[in-house]
Chain A
Amino acid sequence: MSASVLFDAPGPRARLRNNILTLLSVVVLASAAYYVYARFDTKGQWEGEIWKPFLDASTWTEYIIPGLLGTLKAAGLSAVCALIFGAIFGLARLSDHRWVRTIAGAVVETFRAIPLLLLIFFLFFLAPSVFGGGDYTLIALVAGLTLYNGSVLAEIVRAGVWAVPSGQAEAAQAIGLRKSQMMLLVLLPQAVTAMMPAIVSQLVVLLKDTALGYIIAYADLLNMGFKVLPAVYFGSLIPAAIVIGVIYIGLNMSLSALATRLERRTRRSHRTAAGPIVPPGAVGEPEAVGTLT
């Protein structure tokens, strides 16, 4: 970010122009911010009264923390299941048997293409008719998240194994390792290092998608904070949205920061012959390339 090549080191005239541009953008952004502030103010959204519940310990212990735990529970369960699903189907797609590859490929491609909410709704309505009555919100949410994210993770696993240079597999065969030994001893250890950043980025997606539980009334952070809490403290809707928004953003940004750190480490690592892979359908890692911006 420091030395952009998109513009010259400014001379006197360019400095003047930049200063004017800075001034203009400050004015525009500040007036936009003020407009939002004023609009919120006329509706009384900055009154201490509606923000006060967030100073009470009981608001946190009764609504926000149980909600957060619900979100983390759903995210944790689905992350574990999705990693298992991803490992199984990713390796199945690399199988030497054509029928295994085909079936795994069909499963993975199908679940990646289904809109996640449709899948969750379907599982949510399917569960009672198969297993009888009960509360299936968590199960539907976790199953949906597992099938979707597990399919994406399967693609990451496949890409990770492919990213290991073919010389590694050839060398493993040359010293007489069996297929499973080659995979376990040579390819996977290197692939996992290459996959780590992509896996963590996918976990950010998973964590964000747990909020879909709100729609099927699973007691997650969004539900407790945005539906239950404003119903108890009337008028606190906007403060509640801001508080839980900050929690989500904090969680996701720290996970993303971890992904970036892992990526840097993979790039430097001597433990793998493969570079970090880009998850399927993801938007590269701008920071990592870093030339123009």
Chain B
Amino acid sequence: MDDLIKYAPDLLAGFLDNVKLSLICGVFALILGTILVSMRVAPTPVLRGAGTLYVNIVRNTPLTLVLAFSSLGLSDTIGLTFSETPSTNSFWLVVLGLSAYTATFVCEALRAGINTVPIGQAEAARAIGLTFLQSLRMIILPQAFRTVVAPLGSVMIAMIKNTTVAIAGGYLMESAFVMRDTFDDTGVSIPIFIGLVIAFMLVTLPVGFVTSRLASRLAVAR
């Protein structure tokens, strides 16, 4: 218990980094995922193919490889840098990798949602003369989003847990690294582990609760 109190400020700072990563990656992943799903249902075969290729490649690559590649490959070898400060640079590289990875799961969730929209909706949209983008934006996607709020919540929870893998992207400030560092110094400490687990649960449980509440409130009545 003493260990937990002694290292609490470091651990808390690390955990807040996880929260920060989650918030930023969540936004990017939702945007990129929506773009990807629009590509995958587009009338242009080239766009459909590109979207499918991206999703299949990135989704089947381990996140650890994605993040290690962003750091060692893209940044160190190719020279893609976001900032001169190493920690800021690796922060944004992790954001890049984690958003690119999570976006594929957002895309698949939305695609499942699009499949639940009755065909009549799309047909009615076409009948009143809406173009592809109009019917997607005004008719299909709003309904799709509402049916997949709960799966999207699961995707976000998985992403929050995945922020701990940031260590593979060379970002050495978030809580998993701080915990390992502390264990290196003091040996294993059960209170520290439990404290961190509770901290994560305090974030993921409400996300799950809110999204399942939202899902039932927003469910499209059919």
Contacts and interface: CB of A to CB of B under 8 A. Distances in A.
Given A115-B176, A248-B61, A283-B108, A25 B44 contact: yes
A290 interface: yes
Contacts of B175: 118
Contacts, number: 189
Contacts of B164: 115-118
Contact of A115 (B78, B109, B154, B200): B200
A292 B47 contact: no
A10 B43 contact: yes
A97 interface: no
A132 B56 CA distance: 43
Contacts of B46: 22, 25-26, 29
Contact of B44 (A18, A40, A226, A238): A18
Nearest to B127: A8
A292 B111 CA distance: 9
B176 A117 contact: yes
Interface string B171-194: 000011001100100011010010
A249 interface: yes
Nearest to B118: A291
B53 to A, nearest CB: 10
B63 interface: yes
A60 interface: no
Interface in A229-253: 237-238, 241, 244-245, 248-249, 252-253
A211 B65 CA distance: 7
28 contacts: A5-B119, A6-B41, A6-B132, A6-B135, A18-B44, A43-B77, A115-B161, A122-B179, A122-B193, A126-B190, A208-B63, A210-B62, A211-B63, A211-B65, A226-B69, A245-B57, A245-B65, A248-B62, A253-B56, A256-B60, A282-B154, A283-B105, A284-B112, A284-B115, A284-B151, A289-B112, A291-B118, A293-B115
Interface of A: 1, 4-8, 10, 18, 21-22, 25-26, 29, 39-40, 43, 45, 110, 113-118, 121-122, 125-126, 129, 204, 208-212, 214-215, 222, 226, 237-238, 241, 244-245, 248-249, 252-253, 256, 280-286, 289-293
Interface of B: 40-48, 50, 56-57, 60-65, 68-69, 72-73, 76-79, 105, 108-109, 111-112, 114-119, 122-123, 126, 132, 135-136, 140, 148, 151, 154-155, 157-158, 161-165, 167-168, 175-176, 179-180, 183, 187-188, 190, 193, 196-197, 200-201, 204-205
